[in-house]
Chain A
Amino acid sequence: MSRKIVGITGKKLALSNLEKDLYPSYGFTKAHILEYYSRISAFILPHLKGRALTLKRYPEGVEKEFFFEKRCPSYHPSWVKTAEVHRNGKEDITACLINNLETLIWVGNLASIELHVPLARADSPETPDALVFDLDPGDPADILDCARVALILRGLLSRLRLVSYVKTSGKKGLHLYVPLNRGETTFDSTKMFSKAVADIMQKNYPDLVTAKMAKEHRKAKVFINWSQNDSSKTMVCVYSLRAREKPIVSFPLEWKELEKLAGRGNSEKMQIMHSEALLRVERQGDLFREVIKKKQKLPHL
């Protein structure tokens, strides 16, 4: 195993197997992954900060086995911040908090290609900062159908005076976020609200939408997964790489762009590669910054 000691912001870090190709059919090594995360760090760190990380590790690359790791590995450097996480009916665990660049690189070095975080911060685990609609297409529905649903949802939410933001999942779907950022929000309220919205969408667009989890309901429809609004669930973080054939990123889109791409039926353009992600953030900044800032109140609850 090759090792390389690097210094990041004064901390020493041993990086291993940098030349290992973790996206073999595309050609993207661990060094590339670490380079991506370090260059995107200014944009991704605010969204990871203070949240109990779930690692999704691909030690042998994206085409081989992976495992989730909610516990922060016990051999973590002393400067990695952690938080105790209480879980219903299970023992507490210690989770990593990616609060800085060196932790981000250290986690990347563990081949945690994907970074998943809860909707709440570790110090207020029952208070979601945002409500999410996880739009998941059932074959042969695709990301264009998700875009249609997202655009309708956006219209519906704006009638309720709620501003929403959208990102690609980096896989087949879209994630629509409604920032809340208010101390009094509970998962009970976000779950109830998102379920009511999913139900009414299913009722009004029965050929396009389902609010039911069961696989047989999801064929050719967009499943609005409202149940992600739960303290025990995590979402892939905005700007995280996804473990697919190519290094595609979960990336925010402007509504105007989504409208345009949906109108043209261009689903290819909705997949943002690592290199384009870096170009775009340089140009447009963080399109998701309001998700962790904007204060909104769910109406009629």
Chain B
Amino acid sequence: MAEQAMWSGTISFSLVAIPVNLVMAAESGRVSFRLLHGKDYSPLVRRMVCPKEETIIPPDEIIRGYEIGPGKYVLITDEELESVSPERSRTIEIVEFIDIKEVDSIYYDHPYYLVPAKGGEKSYRLLVEVMHRTNKAGLAKFVMGEREYLVAIKSTEGVLALITLHYSDEILHDEDISPKGVNVDEDEKRRMKKNIKERMAEFRPDKYANERRKKILALLKKKVKEKAPVKAPELEEEEGEGPPDLMAALEESMRKVKKRP
């Protein structure tokens, strides 16, 4: 699979360990645009600005605060956050198996595929088939980046999918939504049922498409043909366009130096 792995490790439960790579299963259908300066087409960059001093704030002066009231903050350091972050881990530990139908789709957050890594093909295949036949899904916790996720691992069309789930306290309350004290008579129920039945179909997602995305892409294609694209001016890094002072320039250079492997 050409898709870049976002994580790699093993799925494990009891004595089973299957090496896998995690890849995205869906991408946002958004067409993304760059924001440009209308005068000279320079791509714009984001800078953190202090509204009081009206100056750009260098990274070493930026700290985190949790807002507890208007204008009131509790400060928290990177070290403190680090101390409560989960330990990095290379396993997806399946703690229990559940009936996937029991998981309300409200809980579904983001879908991924699990791709078998070298040596894991056979047990992967086995898990896919058994989960498919029994209609069961594994419930697991796993750590990616700095977060611990609750996930469901299920079999879908011959592969394993991993769906990150919302934690129950992330689901917003629905008590007030359902209208109270309203009686529905049997006739109305029957009519509604009939209505639905007439529109029953198989789920065929390929019948639908993101029409706006299609139109935007068609429009862009047409514009590229009609007119040469505008060009951003080359940045003169030596003078003017660069960071405003020596310290900012040093900070920026240091960040780049440290990024190199």
Contacts and interface: CB of A to CB of B under 8 A. Distances in A.
A159 B238 contact: no
B246 A301 contact: yes
Given A299-B249, A300-B243, A300-B249, A200 B238 contact: no
Given A200-B251, A299-B238, A159 B256 contact: yes
A152 to B, nearest CB: 6
B238 A161 contact: yes
A299 B254 contact: no
Given A155-B260, A299-B242, A300-B242, A196 B247 contact: yes
A52 to B, nearest CB: 30
A301 B243 CA distance: 12
Contacts, number: 40
A9 B246 CA distance: 50
B250 interface: yes
B253 interface: yes
Contacts of B237: 161
B247 A155 contact: no
Contact of A193 (B246, B248, B254, B258): B246
Interface in A110-161: 152, 155-156, 159-161
A203 B248 CA distance: 14
A160 B247 contact: no
A98 B245 CA distance: 40
B257 interface: yes
A152 B260 CA distance: 10
Given A161-B238, A299-B242, A300-B243, A204 B249 contact: no
Interface in A173-216: 192-193, 196-197, 200, 203-204
B254 A204 contact: yes
A156 B257 contact: yes
A86 B246 CA distance: 32
Given A161-B238, A200-B251, A300 B257 contact: no
Contacts of B251: 200
Interface centre among A193, A197, A204 (most CB of B within 10 A): A204
A197 B257 contact: no
Given A161-B238, A299-B238, A156 B254 contact: yes
- Classify the secondary structure of A's interface with B: helix
B260 A200 contact: no
Contacts of A300: 242-243, 245-246, 248-249
Nearest to B253: A159
Contacts of B247: 196, 200
Nearest to A201: B254
B247 to A, nearest CB: 6
Contacts of A155: 257, 260
Contact of A200 (B242, B243, B254): B254
Contact of B253 (A156, A203, A301): A156
Given A300-B243, A301-B246, A160 B253 contact: yes
A159 B253 CA distance: 6
A197 B246 CA distance: 9
Contacts of A200: 247, 250-251, 254
Contacts of B258: 204
Interface in B214-261: 237-238, 242-243, 245-254, 256-258, 260
A197 B260 contact: no
A235 to B, nearest CB: 23
A301 B257 CA distance: 21
B245 A152 contact: no
Contacts of B257: 152, 155-156, 159
Interface centre among A160, A196, A203 (most CB of B within 10 A): A160
Contacts of A204: 254, 258
Interface string B63-93: 0000000000000000000000000000000
Interface of A: 152, 155-156, 159-161, 192-193, 196-197, 200, 203-204, 299-301
16 contacts: A152-B257, A159-B252, A159-B256, A160-B249, A160-B253, A161-B238, A192-B246, A193-B246, A196-B246, A200-B247, A204-B254, A204-B258, A299-B238, A300-B242, A300-B248, A301-B246
Please give me the 7 A-B residue pairs with the lowest Cβ-Cβ distance, nearest first.
Answer: A159-B253, A300-B246, A155-B257, A200-B250, A300-B249, A156-B257, A156-B253
Given A299-B238, A300-B248, 18 more contacts: A155-B257, A156-B253, A159-B252, A159-B256, A159-B257, A160-B250, A160-B253, A192-B246, A196-B246, A196-B247, A196-B250, A200-B251, A200-B254, A204-B258, A299-B242, A299-B246, A299-B249, A300-B243
